[in-house]
Amino acid sequence: MDELVLLAEELGAQLKQRKEVLALAESCTGGLAAVAITSVAGSSAWFDCGFVTYSNQSKVDALGVSAQTLDEYGAVSEQAAVAMAQGALKNSQASLAGSITGIAGPSGGTKQKPVGTVCFAWAHADGRLKRSTQLFRGDRTQIRHQAAEHMLLGLMGMLK
């Protein structure tokens, strides 16, 4: 967790310098990225909120992800991740949002989407959007940690 907090400190410094505010939407990580961020003293100056939307219904209710997107592509898809990030932007005071949705295991994987499949999206209020799918290796804890790290690094990439 210490390395996540160090990344969060670096991210916070960049956000503060640019006068940007962050929101997160997390599923398989259960708020792990938000925990790292809120471990940084003063993060309230650049972190607005985090949504932990574990169920499909919570993705619909809290973030406005369409049921059609979830039915057509699944909760673990770049399409769902994009809708989550855009929903986090819309439902917050943030200028930058990131989302994580995936299969941390040990069960729940399929041949098409094995355990360790995690989809990400990063959305900026200026319209920039990035998305990514990664396949992480390890146990549930390791996959969740790698996903949170990838999220923080991706957010920093959006600020360059």
pLDDT tens digit string along 93-102?
Answer: 999 999 999 9
Q: How many domains does the chain have?
A: 1
Query: What pLDDT score was predicted for residue 158?
Result: 98
Give the chain's mean pLDDT: 97
Strands of 74-142 (E only): list them: 96-102, 117-124, 129-135
What is the pTM for the complete model shown?
Answer: 0.97
CATH code for position 12: 3.90.950.20
Domain that holds residue 97: 2-158
pLDDT tens digit string along 20-76?
Answer: 999 999 999 999 999 999 999 999 999 999 999 999 999 999 999 999 999 999 999
